[in-house]
Amino acid sequence: MRSAAILAVAFVLTSPVHAQLCTGKRLWGPYGMQLSGLATISGAQDPIADLARLTLSYDGTVSGYSSVNFKGLLLGNPASGTYELHPDCTFALSLQDDSGGWQHFRGVATPDGRKITIRQTDPETGERGEVEKAPNGCTASDLRNAYTFTLSGTATPLATGNKPIPFAAAGSLSLDANRKLSLVRPTAASVAYDLQPDCMIQLELPPLTPTGRKVHLRGIVVNSGAKILAIQTDPGEPAAAVFVSR
């Protein structure tokens, strides 16, 4: 028993703290990035949801474009910057928008580089989310036949005319043989969508939020069509949505 304990201690002492799973690896190609949370840039806690399509190159550079729903106001910007993938799979990303401002992110990548959990590290920001590998191009045939989804965010005074109202919704979608999309749950309804060749997708869902209005989403297809990352683009309703194939 004592010798076994000594061997166990020796193993712990000689094992590396971080396995060097990403040594010599680089990320490349298109990725979708989604973050959400609360930011205190204005001095108060304001909801924010961010979606980006980024192309990562072998040389460590990044290019792409992003959409941000901050306090219910939708902004869009081209983005460029740099990234670093360290041997222990920790990840650093710096993005600059067309106004010259920089944003900084840190996270951890899976060893295959297909998914990164990430958070923004700039002062007065608190967004968290994920970066996930996207296809090089998309058609309707790349969508899966069924998805479950979650949608969560805050209806701001801009949308409610009064006070912020947090909300959450969940349901499921199905795609028929003619590639028509329908909401199955929580209620049956048709869903309009527009899938672009760069795998960006626009979705129009029936009312699911406290405002009672239709929900408009901008998303990106990732993980070979198995997932869609999206944000709500309606004024006053910064929210994030995730669709997962089933």
- Choosing among 3.30.70, 2.60.40, 3.40.1440, 2.40.128, the CATH entry for 29-133 is 2.40.128
- Using 70 as the pLDDT threshold, list the residues of the chain that sit under it: 1-19, 42-43
What pLDDT, on the 0 to 100 scale, is given for residue 160?
86
- In terms of CATH architecture, what is 140-245? Beta Barrel (2.40)
Strand (E) or helix (H) holding 10: helix 2-14
pLDDT confidence of residue 52 = 97
User: What local confidence, expressed as pLDDT, does residue 230 receive?
Assistant: 98
The ranges assigned to domains in the chain are 29-133, 140-245
- What are the φ and ψ backbone dihedral angles of 208, each rounded to 5 degrees? -135, 0
> Which residues, including other chains, have CB under 8 Å from residue 63's CB and lie 6 or more apart?
54, 55, 57, 78, 79, 80
* 193/2 Cα distance (integer angstroms): 65
Give the model's pLDDT for residue 19.
Answer: 61
Kind and range of the H or E run holding 53: strand 46-56
Distant-in-sequence contacts of 197-203, Cβ < 8 A, 24+ apart:
197/137, 197/138, 197/139, 198/30, 198/53, 198/137, 198/138, 199/30, 199/32, 199/53, 199/134, 199/135, 199/137, 199/138, 199/142, 200/53, 201/138, 201/228, 201/230, 203/230
Percent of the chain residues topping a pLDDT of 70: 91
pLDDT value, residue 13? 38
The predicted pLDDT at position 152 comes to 96
